[in-house]
Amino acid sequence: MKIGILAVQGDFEAHAAMLQQLGAQTAEVRTPADLDGCDGLILPGGESTTQLKFLLEEGLADKIVKFAERGGAIFGTCAGAILLAKDVQHPRQDSLNLMDMTVVRNAYGRQIASDVVRGPTVLKKEPLEMVFIRGPVIERAGPGVKVLAEYAGKPALVQRENILAATFHPELTDDTTVHEHFLRLAGSHRKRTNGGKSST
């Protein structure tokens, strides 16, 4: 399985290391052509306005939207979650509009207030370790958006079909639960594109 990772800024190398630990092939994505042949795409942390500007200038924004429409799995963490949201507040900004949710930027406080916490998740019995770094808050999850984990009474990990978004950084922990779940989403897309056959 091949997972592309937007490699503009942020901790894309940490995502790659965790995916490779789980047996997936990774590819750094900086151009539309880099996304070809990928079963999934990760939009990592960083600065969402900077990333969105890059995506628009390089023609990657349209490619990502079409990738999602074809069933490609996409996982956005922190800034990546902001890029996926339909409604971005504080301040308002454009996005890829791939998930019906309202996100408030930097709502968990400044970087000095960042923390490591544990919260309930439907992905496993034990609490999920979450690293927040100036994380956004999901204020509203629309119809069809499943809440997979929470922190402080707010959704922290959500999913709509093939799209996954986290307001924390799972790649900065030793817990591979979230990335394993994403690889299952990407695997489902791979099977569909191969006509239901297992990949070789």
> Catalytic amino acids?
78, 169, 171
Rounded to 10°, the helix 60-69/48-58 angle is: 90
Q: How many other β-carbons are positioned within 10 Å of the β-carbon of residue 195?
A: 6
Whether the CB-CB separation of 8 and 166 falls below 8 Å is answered with no
**Residue 121: DSSP 8-state:** B
Q: Is the peptide bond before 91 cis (omega within 30 degrees of 0)?
A: yes
Q: What is the CA radius of gyration of the chain?
A: 15
Three-state secondary structure of 42-85:
EECCCCHHHHHHHHHHHCHHHHHHHHHHCCCEEEEECHHHHHHE
